[in-house]
Amino acid sequence: MQSYIRTLTLLVAISGLFLSCEDELDLENDSFFRIYSNRNAEIDYEPIDIVETASGYVILAATKLVDSDFKGIQIITVDKAGNFLRERTMDSEMVVPTPDMFRVDSTFYFFAMSRTTLRAQLIATDENFRNLEVTPVGNVLYPLSAAMNSGGNLLLQSYDPASLTTVISEVRTDGTVLNQAGYTIGAGQDVEPTILAHYLEPDGRQPFFCGEVNPGNYYFNGFYDFSLSLVFSDFSQEPSGVVQGQSDNGGIRAAYSITGNLFALVGFQFDENYVVPSTPVGTGTTSSSIDLFSSDQAELKTGTPAAIIPYGENHVVIAAETESREVALYFYNLTTTEVSGIETIGFINPFTLSTVRTDEEQNLLVIGTTFTSGRFERVFFRKVAASDVNGFLN
Amino acid sequence: MIRRRLLLGARLFALIFACLIVGDAEAQRRLDARGGIESFLDTQWWLGLKFGTNVTQPFANETYMVTSQINAASEEEAAKQYDDFNLIGVQIGLDATYYARGLSFGIQPMYKRIRYSYANRFSWDSSIQPEAFITDYDVEQALDLVVVPITLKYDIIKRGNLRPFVIAGVSYSFIMGANKQLDIRHTDVVLDSRVVGGEVSLNVPNEFQGFLSAFGGIGASYDVGNIRLYLDFAYNYGITSAVNKEEIFEENAFFAVGEINDDIFIRNISGSFGVVFPLKFIDNTFQSSR
């Protein structure tokens, strides 16, 4: 009997070897993937941007309106684990939410357009996203893209159909225009149908964006001098530099100023796509985008949207859509300009990219749409935890 | 990971075997001192095969969904509906048992395939009518396991050819494979059309993890000559989760269509038939040497 007891005691002790502590699911800190489903078959979503809040994240999205062809504004809040909290659709007078959304302390800012006057509106809201303060922005029409500069002011790219110019404005967070310059799209050019298609048609979206090279020197990607060009401006009458595209058949889709005139770029030339993790760009000269490109990134879809953000001290993340309807994230090492890792999102159902961001913990936040049951366009939110990203970067 | 767990299992098996051999040697010394056939039959080693079938009831300790429902009303609808004890699995393995005075102590390493199924439904409304479009998911999950049970058996009747017994013990199941098959069906209620939305079948062992179970059951053995046949039925109760929680929200082909695991504990009923042979003989005809 004693030998039995001895053996049993031993076995109980050994079975403890298998009872290692179970890993608990901690979605606030782990990677996750969410699809925000709505059982209304007639609703579509088009996410624009995602920003971290005190309690989670806020997704700025465009959505179909019953009484307008323009897309309305929707604000979706989710918690840190990605669980849906609330959604709010704004009054249909305000349309076409413009990328990006910005947070200054606990106030969130983004631009939209009045559908009756076509004037740009600066919308400010607090963490609750209940009280929206709407301020018209000077005489700025057709807002196209926005960024925040290092001085805490907003940059707004817009189009003026009267003067046929692409306009870049520096706007204070109270809506006051501080600086402004307009650059001709080319005599006799008519880009208004293209601008309207950008607002109204899913396949008509143009790669408009703007940003800062260094304080006082800015760039925008838009129509200038008969082509879709990357234009550098210090608000002088003429651009300080231009990277010319080829009509709207070639140009830049996304750019990020790594430091000074060193840029990470995604460009296109007809059906081909080019990814350039780090290259000097003439910010004070006139050059052609085609000269910056080398080899076609064949797996990327023709006309793919693209986004570039810095990651850590020595990487950029370049996001784009692939031919197989996935969203691909390429992590480029800026020292070697080689790919350190690739993360793809999507199988079976098609996935589209809206944008990629990081939060304060350096978690990667990717939003876009997927088609549930192959037909209902819904927002997806993929968070890749910083620990997972670092796992394949190191 | 699987290899590491297998090595651990092999070590455990070797250790138990060594303990039993030492225990038997001690018992044998005492038997030799008493002598006689009765004392000889007090202990015995049995070695043989067992095989049978099983059915499974998955228990969802916590439920998870990829989709976060903007309409709260549809959250419940999208939850998985599990089927209980509906799909038959199989098991086959070895039986090494040490018997002493009505009490047996054994280990039965075996290959076991368990299967279970569940379904969920997503629906969409339109201004034309509610439930205008329905998508149904039917999932069949099979787990291929190497199970190492440690069994304590008590013979209720200790003499005669027919011996009813009760069993109890613990087992650890190592995941060898985990084939998941998802069938998708779409129904467009407005157009009155039904279409197959696709079939995805993949082996996803990383989504699962080895788990510990406790079990109890009944059975009876019947001696035919030197051979012992037995039939037993056991209820296995999962003590730890069979699902690797770290992988639940990681991407794969199922994930993209909204199909992910809940936190599953396996409850399983198995019935087995066994044939075992004694390793000690009274008749020295079968002994290799004396």
SS (H, E, C) B83-119: CCCCCEEEEEEEEEEEEECCEEEEECCEEEEEEEEEE
Residues A147 and A102: their CA atoms lie apart, in Å, by: 8
Chain A 328-347, CB below 8 Å of chain B: which residues?
A: 345-347
Residues B167 and A381: their CA atoms lie apart, in Å, by: 50
Mean pLDDT of B229-255: 90
Residue A290: DSSP 8-state: G
B145, burial (CB in 10 Å: exposed 0-12, middle 13-18, buried 19+): buried
- Out of B12, B125, B200, name the one closest to residue A39 (CB): B125
Residue in the structure block whose two tokens are 């006799």: A188
Does residue A39 or residue B177 have the better pLDDT? Answer: B177
Q: Give the residue from A39, A84, A372, A378 with the most B CB atoms within 10 Å of its CB, the best one to mutate.
A: A39
* Phi-psi label, residue B185: left if phi above 0, alpha if psi -120 to 50, beta otherwise: beta
Residue in the structure block whose two tokens are 């209304």: A40
Residue in the structure block whose two tokens are 């307009």: A182
Residues B226 and B196: their CA atoms lie apart, in Å, by: 57
| Count of pairs with CB atoms under 8 A, one residue in A, one in B | 138
Query: Does the pLDDT value for residue B22 go beyond 60?
Result: no
Q: How confident is the model at residue B155 (pLDDT cuts 50, 70, 90)?
A: very high
Specify the pLDDT at position A10.
52
In this structure, what token pair is assigned to residue A285?
């000269």
Residues B78-97: tens digit of each pLDDT: 789 999 999 999 999 999 99
Model ipTM value: 0.75
Chain A 50-109, CB below 8 Å of chain B: which residues?
A: 76, 78, 82-84, 87
Give the distance from residue B72's alpha carbon to the nearest chain A alpha carbon, in angstroms: 9
Give the distance from residue A174's alpha carbon to the nearest chain B alpha carbon, in angstroms: 33
Query: Does the pLDDT value for residue B288 go beyond 60?
Result: no
Close Cβ partners of A140 (under 8 Å, ≥ 6 residues apart)? A119, A120, A156, A158, A160, A167, A169, A177
Residues A308, A318 contacting (CB under 8 angstroms) = yes
**What is the percent of chain B with per-residue pLDDT over 70, rounded to a whole number?**
80
Residues B97, B277 contacting (CB under 8 angstroms) = no
DSSP string, A233-266: ESS-SS-SEEEE-BTTTEEEEEEEEEETTEEEEE
What letters, b where the CB count within 10 A reaches 16 and e where it falls short, cover B4-37? Answer: ebeebbeebeeebeebbeebbeebeeebeeeeee
In this structure, what token pair is assigned to residue A331?
């992590």
Long-range contact set of residues A288-293: C-beta below 8 Å, sequence gap at least 24: A288/A243, A288/A244, A288/A246, A289/A229, A289/A230, A289/A243, A289/A244, A289/A245, A289/A246, A289/A250, A289/A251, A289/A252, A290/A246, A290/A250, A292/A243, A292/A265, A292/A267, A293/A267, A293/A269
Q: Give the residue from A37, A64, A366, A369 with the most B CB atoms within 10 Å of its CB, the best one to mutate.
A: A37
Reading chain A (394 residues) residue by residue, the pLDDT tens digits are 455 555 555 555 555 545 544 556 788 888 888 999 888 888 888 999 999 999 999 999 998 888 899 999 999 999 999 999 999 989 899 999 999 999 999 999 999 999 999 999 999 999 888 888 999 999 999 999 999 999 999 999 999 999 999 999 999 999 999 999 999 999 888 899 999 999 999 889 999 999 999 999 999 999 999 999 999 999 999 999 999 999 889 999 999 999 989 999 999 999 999 999 999 999 999 999 999 998 889 999 999 999 999 999 899 999 999 998 899 999 999 999 999 989 888 877 789 999 999 999 999 999 999 988 888 889 999 999 999 998 878 7
- Out of A3, A41, A78, name the one closest to residue B26 (CB): A3
Residues B243 and B118: their CA atoms lie apart, in Å, by: 15
Q: In chain A, which residue's Cα lies nearest the Cα of B197? A: A373
Under an 8 A CB cutoff, do B251 and A40 touch?
no
